[in-house]
Amino acid sequence: MNDMLIFERAAVRAHRDRAANQLDRVRPVLDDLAARVLDRLDDTARKFATALDLGGRGAVATLLAARGVAVVSADLSPRMARQAGGFAVAADAEFLPFGAASFDLIVAHLSLHWVNDLPGALIQLRRTLKPEGLFLASLPLLGTLGDLRAALIKAEEALTGGASPRVSPFPDLADCAGLMQRAGFALPVAEREVIDVEYAEPLALLRDLQAAGETNATIARSRRIPPRALFPAALAALAPDDGKLRVPLHMAVLTGWGS
C-alpha cells in the first residue's frame, strides 16, 4: 500500500454526501468558525473579485458574497457543492480542475485535513491562485479530539482486547507552516486558534461529527460494527461530574499570497 494513502477518498465523499442534508444541526458552529477565518480579510485593503470556496459547507460562500465577491464553490461531494451557495463544482482537492491563476482569493475552510497528498494539494492551490492573490485555509490541529481518541482506544481494548483507529490524525502547527513555505506561498503565516465547544449530552458530539461529514475515513479503520458499549463507555470516561463534555478544537488558520 502507498504510504501516502491514509484516507479513503470515496468514504470522505460518501460521508459528505450524507451530511449535506444535516448541516443545519451544526450550522452555528460552522458559521462561527468560517467567520473567524474570514476576519483575516479585514487585515488587507485588497479587494477580491473572484474566489474559490473549497469545501466550505455553505459557511464561506455566503460571507464572501456579502462582501461582493463572486464565488465558485467546489467540494468532493456534489451534493455539498450544490448547497454551498456559490457556482457549484464537484472537484477533488487532490486533482483540481481549474487553470493557473484562476482566482484572486481561495478559501479552503476545514477541508484539507482529509487530503492524502497535502503538499501536492497546496502546490495546486498556489498555482490556481493569481499573482498577489490571497490564500486562506483552516484545518484541525494535533490535540483536536485527542481525549476522545485515547478514550476510544482504552474502551475498545477493554471490550475486545484490541483497537482500531477511530479518529483522524491531524498535523501540528509547525508542519502547516513548513508546508505553506514548500508550496511556494509568499509571506506564509500559520496561526492557532482554540475554540471550546460544550455538549450537555456527550453523545451529541458524535452526532455533530456525523452531521458535519467528519466521521472516520481512514483506510486502516475497522469495517466491523463496533461493540454497542464502545462509544457510551468512551464518552462516559470523558464527561466530568456535571455531565457536560467540553471539547477544544485546535484550528490552524493559514494565510499566504500568490507569487
What is the fold of 9-257? Rossmann fold (3.40.50)
Instruction: Look at the alpha carbons of 78, 83, 84, 85 in this order and tell me if their dihedral is positive or negative.
Output: positive
Predicted local distance difference test score (pLDDT) of residue 244: 84
Cα distances (Å, whole numbers) of residue 204 to 87, 90, 130, 199, 258: 32, 30, 42, 7, 40
Q: What is the pLDDT of residue 34?
A: 97
| Cα(83)–Cα(89) distance, integer angstroms | 11
- What pLDDT, on a 0 to 100 scale, did the predictor assign at position 142? 94
Threshold 0.85, pTM exceeds: yes
Residues in the chain with pLDDT values less than 50: 1-2
pLDDT value, residue 1: 37
Residue with cell 500568490: 258
Contact predicate 8/215, CB 8 Å:
no
- The confidence score (pLDDT) of residue 3 equals 55
CB atoms within 10 A of CB 68: 9
Q: Taking a C-beta distance cutoff of 8 angstroms, is the pair 76, 55 a contact?
A: yes
> How would you list the strands of the sheet with 70-75, edge to edge?
87-90, 70-75, 50-54, 103-109, 129-140, 245-257, 186-199
